[in-house]
Amino acid sequence: MALMKFTLSFTVVFSCVISYLLSPNTQVSDVVKIIELFVAGMLVTGAANAINQAVEKNTDAMMKRTANRPVASGRMTQQHALGFAFVTGVLGIVMMWGCFNMESALLSAFSLFLYAYIYTPLKKVSSIAVLVGAFPGALPCLIGWVAGFSHGGDNSWAGGWILFLIQFLWQFPHFWAIAWVAHNDYTKAGFKLLPSDKGPTKNTALQAVIYSVMMVPVGMLAYVNLGSRPINDIGGIAGKISFIIVLLCNLGMVVQSIRLYINLDVKSARRVMFSSYIYLPIVLLALLFAVNKIY
């Protein structure tokens, strides 16, 4: 569980499962399929995190918050971690193909490769790693949506791309807030994750504000067209409640990012970080509520 970073993996798979349930062809009552997707998602995500720990053994050992990870602490060898990653990664991709469809399996394989072999080594080269990492970070939403195609019916990718874009933009204020708080540790390990070479600056905070503002219209986009269908006839009570929830969550992220821009301190960065942790599950569940699937 430590090697797979269970909490992080669970968060990633959660967005995948909710996106699957938002697909027009799926039902919340189909417990078997939900479990299959959860297991397959945990295997693929866990494999990516295991590779990450194997590759970053030395840098993890330099940072307080990661020094006790299995590979960094020496409790597990790099070879064992990579062997575990190979087995779980292959099993997860095979499960996606067998239980769902080829498209979701190929997207899962691409996401695993991009995270483990492009994003991970790029973190020491340039802050563009954050942009690259945002793609595998958001792909679980698209993977979940496309996995719903296995039921037949409406196979439009549009709704999946909307969900992908919501999670893609969310990652920038989220990750920059983490990098702001952990800046000293990251610098010690040689990671270049903030937009400015000078560390936490007004430029970083401004970019967090910009991406948070961009999240507002994208969050509302789901109410125009999630896939090829309107959600719940916007006049419905579920649609109205969900619309308000998503709007308030988006505005909350903007407010916290503006506070960071004004104060430029770790306390404000932590507020952005914790707000982002709350934002994603609430928004995804609100969207699920809007399509009449959880009540």
pLDDT band at 29 (very low <50, low <70, confident <90, very high): confident
- Count of beta carbons in the 10 Å neighbourhood of residue 109: 17
* pLDDT exceeds cutoff 60 at 235: no
- Strand partners for 226: 229
* pLDDT exceeds cutoff 60 at 228: no
- Count of beta carbons in the 10 Å neighbourhood of residue 98: 11
- Strand partners for 133: none
Query: pLDDT over 90 for what percent of the chain?
Result: 57
All residues at 6 or more sequence positions from 283 whose CB lies less than 8 Å from its CB, including other chains = 166, 219, 245, 246, 249, 250
Q: Cα-Cα-Cα-Cα dihedral of 52, 113, 272, 42, to 10°?
A: -80
The dihedral through the CA atoms of 171, 156, 29, 97 has a sign that is negative
Residue 196, amino acid:
S
pLDDT, greater one: 257 or 234: 257
Determine phi and psi for 181, rounding to 5 degrees. -65, -40
Domains and CATH numbers, the chain: 1-155 (1.10.357.140), 157-295 (1.20.120)
Tell me which of 62-76, 89-103, 155-169, 183-197 is least confident.
183-197
pLDDT at res. 261: 95
- Strand partners for 229: 226
pLDDT at res. 156: 83
Residue 160, amino acid:
G
Tell me which of 39-43, 96-100, 162-166, 236-240 is least confident.
236-240
Contact 22, 226 (CB under 8 A): yes
pLDDT, greater one: 210 or 222: 210
pLDDT band at 236 (very low <50, low <70, confident <90, very high): low
pLDDT at res. 227: 42
Q: What pLDDT, in 10s, does the model give residues 87-145?
A: 999 999 999 999 999 999 999 999 999 999 999 888 888 778 888 999 999 999 999 99
Q: What pLDDT, in 10s, does the model give residues 59-94?
A: 888 888 888 999 999 999 999 999 999 999 999 999
Query: In the block, which residue shows the tokens 């062997």?
Result: 83
pLDDT, greater one: 228 or 155: 155
Q: Cα-Cα-Cα-Cα dihedral of 103, 107, 113, 114, to 10°?
A: 150
* pLDDT exceeds cutoff 60 at 230: no
pLDDT at res. 287: 86
Tell me which of 107-116, 130-139, 188-197, 229-238 is least confident.
229-238
Secondary structure of the chain as H, E, C letters:
CCCCCHHHHHHHHHHHHHHHHHCCCCCCCCHHHHHHHHHHHHHHHHHHHHHHHHHCHHHHHHCCCCCCCCCCCCCCCHHHHHHHHHHHHHHHHHHHHHHCCHHHHHHHHHHHHHHHHHHHHHCCCCCHHHHHHHHHHHHHHHHHHHHHHHHCCCCCCHHHHHHHHHHHHHHHHHHHHHHHHCHHHHHHHCCCCCCCCCCCCHHHHHHHHHHHHHHHHHHHHCCCCECCECCCCCCCHHHHHHHHHHHHHHHHHHHHHHHHHHHCCHHHHHHHHHHHHHHHHHHHHHHHHHCCCCC
